[in-house]
Structure 1
Amino acid sequence: MVVEAISKNFFLFLSNNRLLDKLAKKWGPKFGADKIVGGETFDQAVPLIKRLNQQGLQVTVDHLGEFINSEPESRNRSQECMETIRTIAEHQLGSEVSLKLTSLGLDISEELVIENMEQILDTAEKHGVVVTIDMEDSSRCERTLEIYKRLKTKYQNLGTVIQSYLYRSDCDIDELDEYDPYLRLVKGAYKESGKVAFPAKEKVDANLKHLIKKNLLNGNYTAIASHDDQIINYTKELAAEQRIPTDQFEFQMLYGMRNQTQLDLAKEGYTVRVYLPYGDDWYGYFMRRMAERPANIAFAIKGVFSK
C-alpha cells in the first residue's frame, strides 16, 4: 500500500511538470504517444474510430487540453467541439464526445461556460451525439455538477462523471437521480486531500461498487469506467442477480490499455466504449492515468511498445 501511494503521488507530481509537458508535446510521437492518443487532430482520429467501430467497440473522444484562461480560447475550443460533432455525424461514427468545462472557460465565467455548452449541445442534439462533461479536481466538482443540472433540464443527450474517491459522491448520486442522469463512474485521478477523498484504495474500490449498484438500481444509465477485473466482474454479477438489462450500462476503457479485454467484453454482448483522446496536450492526461492504478503502467508500456 505504501508503494502504491508513493507511485500515485509520483505520477501526479510528474503530471504538473511544465518542462516535461513541453518536451512531451515535441517528442511524443517518437515515444509512442500515438499508442494512447488518436492523433493531433480529430481528422487523424477518424480512421481509428472507424476501425474500433468495425471491431464492435463504441468510442468517446476528448480533445485534450484544459485550464483555458481567455474568452477567445474558450470560444475557439467550443467551435472545435462543434466541428468534431459534425464530423462524427458526417462519417456516421459510433462515437460520443467528452469535454472538460475548464477548456470552455469554467475558471473565467460560469455564464461563458453555459453559453459555450448550449452551442455545443444544440449542435449535438441536432446530430444525435451524446456529450459527457468530464469531472476535474474536487475544487471544481460543485460548479461542474450545478452546471450539469442546469443544462440537463433542457438537454437529454448529456452525461457527467462521478468519482468514487470523493466522500461526497454518494450524496451526489442521490441528488442527481431526479435528472435521469447518464453517469460515468470512475475512481478518480487527481491528487486530493484526505479531507475530501478516501486515502485508501480499498475504500475507493468499495465506494465505486456501491455507486455502481445505487445508480443501476435507480434505473439510470451507467458507464463503468475501469480496467479493474474485480469491478468489471462485480458489475456483471450484479446485473445478472438484479436482472439489469445490458442496454442500461456499458464498460469504458482507455484507448491503448486492455485491448483484448475490450474485445472480449464486446463479444460477450456488453457495450464497450473506448475513451480516445486526441491533440498534442497528452502528457498530463497520461500521467494521471498512471497515477490511477499501478497496473496501468504495465498496460501502457505494453501498448506503447507493441506493434
Structure 2
Amino acid sequence: MEALSKNFFLLLSNSSVLDKMAKKWGPRLGADKIVGGESFDQAIPLIQQLNSQGLHVTVDHLGEYVNSESEARERAEECISTIQAIHNHQLNTQLSLKLTSLGLDISHELVHENMTRILEAAKQYDVVVTIDMEDSSRTEKTLELYKHFKKDYDNLGTVIQSYLFRSNQDVEELSDYNAYLRLVKGAYKESGKVAFTEKSMVDDNLKKLIAKHLLNGNYTAIASHDEAMIDFTKDFVEKNNIPKDQFEFQMLYGMRNQMQLDLLQEGYKVRVYLPYGEDWYGYFMRRLAERPANIAFAVKGLFSK
C-alpha cells in the first residue's frame, strides 16, 4: 500500500495539467503554507521570522530540468542575487540548488561555469551552498562536480539519499573531502536495480549513513520528519559523545513546526528548508511521495494557522 501511495504521488508530480492548475489556484490550496513566496524578496520576512525564533534556514529556488542555456544562466543569476540579498539583509540562511537548473543536462562546461560564478559569490559573502541530489541517473555527475568544487570551496555541501545502494560507499569516499552532507531517505521513483524498495531497508540504511558520517567526524544534517530517526540520532550522539555542533536536524517549512521548536528548546540546531518560486507543485508532490505520513503533516499545515 505504501509503495502504491508513493507511486501515485510521483505520478501526480509529473502531471503538467495539475501543475498548471496548482499555479493558478496555489494560494487557495495553501501553497503559502509550504512555500516562501514566488520571489526571494517575498521570502525574506519569513526567514527573518524563523531566525528570530532561533531557527536556521536554507532556501531553494524551485525549478529543475532546465533545457536551454539562457534559462540555466538566468537560474545562476537568481542564485547569485539571492546570495547577495542574504548578505545585505544579514539573514541566517544557506542556499540550496539543483544542478539540472544550472545546465547539468546541457553541457559540462555550462554547469561548471554557472557553479563557479555562484560559489565565488558565496565565498565572497560567506554563504554555504548545498547541491541538492536529484534522481539516480544524475548522482555520479553530481558527486563528481561536488568533489571537484570542494577542493577550492569549503562552504559547499551536498546530499546523499539512503534508498540508493551506492550511498554507503559514497559516504565513505566523501569522508576524505571532510564533506558537509545532508542525509535524506530520497524522493524520486527509482528502479529496484539501484535502490531499496522496502521502507524498513531505507530507514536502516539511513541510520547506518548517519552513524558512519558522524563517526568519521564530519558535519551531518539529518533531514527527516521521522520521529524514530530523530530519536535514533539523539541516542547515537549521546552514546558516542558527538558534540551538538557537529550535526543539525533539517525539516521542511510548514511541516512539524512544533517538533522544530521542541528540538530547538532541547538545545539542538534546527534548519528549515524554505523553497520559493512558482514551480512548487512537483516539489510538494515528491514530499508526499517520500513519506506518506507527510500527507497528514501537510493537511494539518495547509489548514491550520
Distance across 1 between alignment mates of 2:184 and 2:29: 28
Distance across 2 between alignment mates of 1:147 and 1:23: 36
Give 1:23 shift. Answer: 1.1
- Partner-residue secondary structure (3-state), 1:113: helix
- Partner-residue secondary structure (3-state), 2:218: coil
Letter in 2 for 1:196: V
1:95 corresponds, among 90, 93, 96, to 93
Q: Deviations over 1:142-170 (max 9, x none)?
A: 00000000000110000000000000000
1:86 aligned residue: 84
1:296 corresponds, among 294, 297, 300, to 294
- Partner-residue secondary structure (3-state), 1:60: strand
2:234 aligned residue: 236
Distance across 2 between alignment mates of 1:268 and 1:177: 29
Distance across 1 between alignment mates of 2:151 and 2:23: 39
Is structure 2 residue 256 aligned with structure 1 residue 269?
no
Give 1:31 shift. Answer: 1.1
TM-score normalised per structure 2: 0.99
Distance across 2 between alignment mates of 1:107 and 1:24: 26
Give 1:263 shift. Answer: 0.5
1:250 aligned residue: 248
1:140 aligned residue: 138
**Number of residues of Structure 1 aligned to a counterpart in Structure 2:** 305
Give 1:111 shift. Answer: 1.5
Give 1:294 shift. Answer: 1.4
Give 1:201 shift. Answer: 0.2
Give 1:25 shift. Answer: 1.2
Give 1:250 shift. Answer: 0.2
1:126-205 correspondence to structure 2 within 5 Å:
126-205=124-203
Give 1:22 shift. Answer: 1.1
Q: Deviations over 1:65-114 (max 9, x none)?
A: 00111111111110110000010111111100000000000000111111
Distance across 2 between alignment mates of 1:137 and 1:130: 23
Q: Which runs of 5+ in 2 are unaligned?
A: none
Distance across 2 between alignment mates of 1:29 and 1:200: 35
- Stretches of 4+ aligned residues off by more than 4 angstroms: none
Letter in 2 for 1:104: L
- Partner-residue secondary structure (3-state), 1:189: coil
TM-score normalised per structure 1: 0.99
1:46 aligned residue: 44
Distance across 2 between alignment mates of 1:110 and 1:22: 31
Give 1:180 shift. Answer: 0.6
1:20-39 correspondence to structure 2 within 5 Å:
20-39=18-37
2:113 aligned residue: 115
Distance across 2 between alignment mates of 1:168 and 1:260: 34
Amino-acid identity (%): 71
- Partner-residue secondary structure (3-state), 1:116: helix
CA RMSD of aligned residues (A): 0.5
Distance across 2 between alignment mates of 1:103 and 1:133: 11
1:35-74 correspondence to structure 2 within 5 Å:
35-74=33-72
Distance across 2 between alignment mates of 1:288 and 1:76: 25
Give 1:219 shift. Answer: 0.3
Letter in 2 for 1:295: A
Letter in 1 for 2:201: K
- Partner-residue secondary structure (3-state), 2:59: strand
